[in-house]
Amino acid sequence: MSTIVEFFSPSDYQEFKRVLKPGGQVLKIIPNADYLIELRHLLYPTGEKRTYDNSAVVQRFAENYPTMQMVPIKYEFSLAPELRASLVQMSPLHWGKGARKLTTTDLAQLTQVTIDVSLLIGRDN
């Protein structure tokens, strides 16, 4: 393969090295601290899951691709009322231990969401 694309999932760097052609690249999208922060704060009003730190993921990627590049991507958008419950259900944030069950009143507060991710670019040398 000349390009591997990975979104929001754990990496198998040995497998990447096995299948990637010389000179190929790995594109990995990872969440940053403010990714879906509005939803995170509704689900986890207190405690350690209220925040997120991706530094360990970035460090591991850099260990495997020392010349990596990191491109931040951040924007907000309005969330239509009919999509709010679906967003909660599609996000693994609601699966976590200690996540609150959101009420209709909670969902009414979810009027916008923040997308805050980084594109990590690693090249096989």
Give me the mean pLDDT over the 28-33 stretch.
Answer: 97
* pTM, entire model: 0.89
DSSP tag of 110: -
H or E segment and range at residue 13: helix 13-19
User: If one looks up domain 3-123 in CATH, what number appears?
Assistant: 3.40.50.150
Question: What's the DSSP call for residue 69?
Answer: E
pLDDT tens-digit readout, 71-115: 999 999 999 999 999 999 998 888 878 888 989 999 999 999 999
Residue with tokens 């790995």: 26
What pLDDT sits at residue 92?
86
- Would you list the domain boundaries of the chain? 3-123
Segment 93-102, tens digit of pLDDT: 888 788 889 8
pLDDT in tens, 56-68: 999 999 999 999 9
Which residue is listed with tokens 């497998």? 15
pLDDT higher than 90, residue 47: no
